[in-house]
Structure 1
């Protein structure tokens, strides 16, 4: 097969990868806002598409150069034939996660496939891979513990300041009114000013997460093709971002349900906390060229916040005077507007849900399992192919 058909196949495969990136990253970015019924899935997809492109265009090239130039010691291994195979394993593995409704880590999946190519050919830059791996371990732990500390000690104060509640059922809090010449935002009739402000904040931070995703994840779709030098960076970013947008409007509906509803029923305050923590970590890593595991960081932040709220304790009056009993407090549910934020030990025991109500352990376990299985499929499949299939000529 000559070069031109292979290049076309490579671009089509990159589009397939971008499509699955849109499916796997929209959930962590806008799942909390959709789950809290602030915006619709269509609005989430549109906002994700726009801000993903902005992140890809501005900071994304740094991560593209890491995967397309630094992760291997000789970029000549990025032949058109090998690129098709790399992108096939990235896209195929991500599709498995999206089909299961679990947002897998695109960065781990892509780095795994490219590293497998480098390892099979003896051109893997172990120092670069080691630096990436260290940050992959540190970043989710950091997200989990920061979110856990916020949930354990600061969430009631933040919630009292924001004073907004999830609007489950009925019309979303924020929608678009297209009745006039110029479309404009329309808010629910029962939403007060503080709730509107909170809704705009959580949507805005979801946009920040979309931007963060673009800074890191665009490289996963286009880095192998960029490594060949056949196509410039900007056209590849435009192609990849368009493919991501298609995924946002289609297959992302599954991951929006998983991250917005199945793991935990996040109120808006919790969504804001998770978004700030995860997007801050991802943008920070992308700015130094590290392909961040956006999905893992966001997911572990959600779990960390739920865990932190579940470990809040309250004091019950014992049978005998002076006797105290400690119980778990489920504080992810928003306090009633206008009430003073309770300190630890002040919550009303009758209003305490079980810890299992805060986040679904079985769904959380499924998400974490798939986030490890999907990159393993990509890495192992790519290595066996490049190591033992003669057609690649390595």
Structure 2
């Protein structure tokens, strides 16, 4: 009876985590589309629900395996431990939703599992190193790819797309398609965050777990998504349509590739790295590259040109708030998980 009650509670907590993930990820995927009035928030939420589930079923299982067994041996994910880890993940993500910011959900999940493994002394540090290395590499890659495009190829891309002189409907369909691609990549990466402990311990099957996580994220898209879509679509950036397509395509492609390799990663972090990189590249396109790195820095004229270009792309104040939340979310999840499992072990509440 007690085991059944713990199982039901574990499923309920997984749903809670999935709902919060849905609220966070929907803003990243469809914020530009709703901010430009291409989609209503309700329709964007519906598309998010569909493509998240598709991404979870097709690729997300690779990430579930890593998060459910790669960091900590699966036998340590007892029903009670699974519930604890999922709660800590949910608390970290909820922090971002309360602040109306799309948080790094995968980083919160990894931090919670790492906190548990470190407290119990069973953490696979090799997996931690590989995942953290890919976090750094993907962020750097996203920034420099978009910086290169922004500085050298942006005008050519705009001319090739020529969206302004073409049928407006074509441009709208392009925005929607990219949003769906991003939702797919979010599902591939984030479904694991809601159900990996339950799947890793064998309390629920892989297919059932992925379906549960996908449906919960879809519910979160409707319940909480409008808050983060408002932030991403209106507060962070005033990107042109072409710039949005570039940043989102690069971000979704990087995240899908990482998910295929079983690496849990954050769409929010990768996408904003793309936006900042594209902004940096565009801001530097009218400033000589050697001026950017010379010891004495930019002249007054170059600084004025750089500043006027850069401020058209993203709001520095909002970006700082988002970066601070990215740091706080995994830190809160990891520290709480470590302290809780360390205390539980000392009190002999767990083996």
- TM-score after normalising by structure 2: 0.91
Q: Which residue of 2 aligns with 1:40?
A: 40
1:384 to 335, 339, 351: 339
Deviations 1:83-134 (A, max 9, x none): 1110001011101101101111111000111111111111111111110010
Tell me the distance in 2 between the aligned counterparts of 1:156 and 1:353. 18
Deviations 1:269-326 (A, max 9, x none): 11100111001101111111111222100111112212222222179xxxxxxxxx64
Q: Which residue of 2 aligns with 1:22?
A: 22
Q: Does 1:364 align with 2:337?
A: no
Deviations 1:71-93 (A, max 9, x none): 11x32110101111100010111
Q: Which residue of 2 aligns with 1:51?
A: 51
* Residues 235-314 of structure 1 aligned to structure 2 (within 5 Å): 235-313=208-286
Deviations 1:133-181 (A, max 9, x none): 100111111111111111122112212222335xxxxxxxxxxxxxxxx
Q: Which residue of 1 aligns with 2:154?
A: 155
Paired residues of 1:32 and 1:267 also in contact (CA < 8 A) = no
Q: Which residue of 2 aligns with 1:63?
A: 63
* Residues 320-335 of structure 1 aligned to structure 2 (within 5 Å): 326=302
Q: Which residue of 2 aligns with 1:104?
A: 103
Q: Does 1:194 align with 2:167?
A: yes
Tell me the distance in 2 between the aligned counterparts of 1:355 and 1:209. 25
Tell me the distance in 2 between the aligned counterparts of 1:213 and 1:370. 19
The number of aligned residues is: 338
Whichever of the two has the greater Rg, that structure is 1
Determine helix, strand or coil for the equivalent of 1:266. coil
Q: 1:87 to 1:391 in 2, by over 3 A?
A: farther
Q: Which residue of 2 aligns with 1:229?
A: 202
Paired residues of 1:76 and 1:228 also in contact (CA < 8 A) = yes
Q: 1:125 to 1:314 in 2, by over 3 A?
A: closer
Give 1 or 2: higher strand fraction: 1
Tell me the distance in 2 between the aligned counterparts of 1:205 and 1:47. 11
Structure 2: unaligned runs, 5 residues or longer: 289-300
Determine helix, strand or coil for the equivalent of 2:335. helix
Deviation at 1:198? 2.1
Q: 1:303 to 1:326 in 2, by over 3 A?
A: closer
* Residues 162-173 of structure 1 aligned to structure 2 (within 5 Å): 162-164=161-163
Tell me the distance in 1 between the aligned counterparts of 2:107 and 2:326. 9
Paired residues of 2:282 and 2:309 also in contact (CA < 8 A) = no
Q: Which residue of 2 aligns with 1:128?
A: 127
CA RMSD between the two structures? 1.9
Paired residues of 1:36 and 1:267 also in contact (CA < 8 A) = no
Give 1 or 2: higher helix fraction: 2
Deviation at 1:195? 2.7
Determine helix, strand or coil for the equivalent of 1:283. helix
Paired residues of 1:311 and 1:328 also in contact (CA < 8 A) = no
**Superposed structure 1 runs of 4+ greater than 4 Å apart:** 325-330
- TM-score after normalising by structure 1: 0.82
Paired residues of 1:313 and 1:328 also in contact (CA < 8 A) = no
Q: Which residue of 1 aligns with 2:350?
A: 393
Deviation at 1:60? 0.7
Deviations 1:8-53 (A, max 9, x none): 1110000000001101111111112222222121121111111110
Q: Which residue of 2 aligns with 1:141?
A: 140
Deviation at 1:366? 0.5
